[in-house]
Structure 1
Amino acid sequence: MAVRLIFFIFLLTSLMSCSHNRQDYQNTTPKFDIKDYFQGRVLAWGTVQDFTDKVTRRFCVEIDASWQENNGVLAETFYFDDGEVSYRNWQLVKLAEGKYQGTAEDVVGVAYGQHAGFAFHWQYSLQVPIDDEVYTFTLDDWMYQLDDKRVLNKTKMKKLGVTVANITLFFEKSSASLTCKKD
């Protein structure tokens, strides 16, 4: 019994310590810079999965992005499958060495991010209204540039260090005629 317990603790510790970091992507291409990618109109489609990986929500996001030197605005409109529409306006600042910081209405404090090769790692705390309460979650957000038009995003949403949801998005630079709204 003690041997099984020790093995289980070793296995759990090993699995918990396995994670990637920005340096894993440092020498990859294409080099991803969110200032270059998020220019003009970008659309994204995504899902929210609960802790069992069951999809609980689907959504589409229309993003209008603009930059004045190193200051950017990403105006996001979210259209959820249940009819909810929500908004987020990111105020971004490009810092030295591929680092960024940002604020938004529902972000607690300041978000921090950094590029490495084809990846961008972004971390922040987000306030999310659920029923009649507002909860604060920590988001660990990874974006991966696939080509000049497409980016894949995977986000872990955590509460007290425990992953409670995963969010997956697919971004695509779009023409003005493509929208989230259904006719």
Structure 2
Amino acid sequence: MKTLFTGLLLALLAGCAGPDVQQYKALQPALDLPAYFNGTTDAWGMFQRRSGDVVKRFHVVITGTSVDGTLTLDEQFRYDDGSSQRRVWRLTRAADGVWHGRADDVEGEALGELAGNALHWQYTLRLPVDGRSYDMRFDDWMFLIDDCTMINRASMGKFGVELGQVTLMFRRRACAP
């Protein structure tokens, strides 16, 4: 019985370990957040429950500006049910290379590490659902595909249990034909 318990505990701990962003440090093109988000970027995404059911789709128009070391991302969301939302991120890069992000609906501070073509973010987002607000933990990965396209996948959960995933595809308007 002790061996079974130890095996289950090790399997559980191994399942909690995720990839290290540094494994992507040699991948190109290298992601430069201020350069990528300078100007207007469109993103299309969806939220899926843990079961895989798509429950919400959306389009985001992001206006990015960089002034005095602060990257501001003004995000305008339009959901498939006709509702809309706005989030304004203020991002700064510390001397150690860690990105720090704040937004009105982020509890505390988002922290991100960038390496090569990848950015790994972690933060707690207050999500409104049916007139109530829930703090959800996000484990967010962004991968630059080419100079114009980025893919984002975020796991959303509470108390260590994944409740769903958000997937987005970003496209810079400066790349439009």
TM-score (norm 2): 0.90
Identity %: 35
8 Å contact from structure 1 (residues 61, 77) kept in 2: yes
* C-alpha distance after superposition, 1:33-54 (max 9, x if no partner): 2112110000000010001111
TM-score (norm 1): 0.87
Per the alignment, residue 174 of structure 1 pairs with 173
The one-letter amino acid of 2:42's match is L
Matched, 1:103 2:67: no
The one-letter amino acid of 1:122's match is W
How far is the alpha carbon of 1:69 from its aligned partner?
Answer: 3.0
* C-alpha distance after superposition, 1:92-132 (max 9, x if no partner): 11222432111111001111111011100111110001102
* C-alpha distance after superposition, 1:8-59 (max 9, x if no partner): 8278437614521112212211111211211000000001000111111100
CA distance in 1 between counterparts of 2:30 and 2:96 reads 13
Per the alignment, residue 147 of structure 1 pairs with 146
CA change 1:26–1:78 in 2 (3 A) is same
Matching of residues 22-61 of structure 1 within 5 Å: 22-61=21-60
* C-alpha distance after superposition, 1:37-85 (max 9, x if no partner): 1100000000100011111110000000000131121100000000110
Per the alignment, residue 164 of structure 2 pairs with 165
8 Å contact from structure 2 (residues 90, 101) kept in 1: yes
User: SS at the partner of 2:142?
Assistant: strand
8 Å contact from structure 2 (residues 46, 57) kept in 1: yes
User: SS at the partner of 1:98?
Assistant: coil
8 Å contact from structure 2 (residues 144, 150) kept in 1: yes
How far is the alpha carbon of 1:6 from its aligned partner?
Answer: 6.0
Per the alignment, residue 113 of structure 1 pairs with 112
CA distance in 1 between counterparts of 2:162 and 2:146 reads 29
CA distance in 2 between counterparts of 1:110 and 1:71 reads 14
Per the alignment, residue 69 of structure 2 pairs with 70
CA distance in 2 between counterparts of 1:61 and 1:142 reads 17
Q: What 5-or-longer segments of structure 1 have no aligned partner? A: 178-183
8 Å contact from structure 1 (residues 41, 176) kept in 2: no
CA distance in 2 between counterparts of 1:111 and 1:10 reads 30
The one-letter amino acid of 1:130's match is V
The one-letter amino acid of 1:107's match is V
CA distance in 2 between counterparts of 1:67 and 1:26 reads 24
Alignment length, in residue pairs?
177
CA distance in 1 between counterparts of 2:32 and 2:72 reads 15
Matched, 1:84 2:83: yes
8 Å contact from structure 2 (residues 69, 93) kept in 1: yes
CA distance in 1 between counterparts of 2:71 and 2:22 reads 26
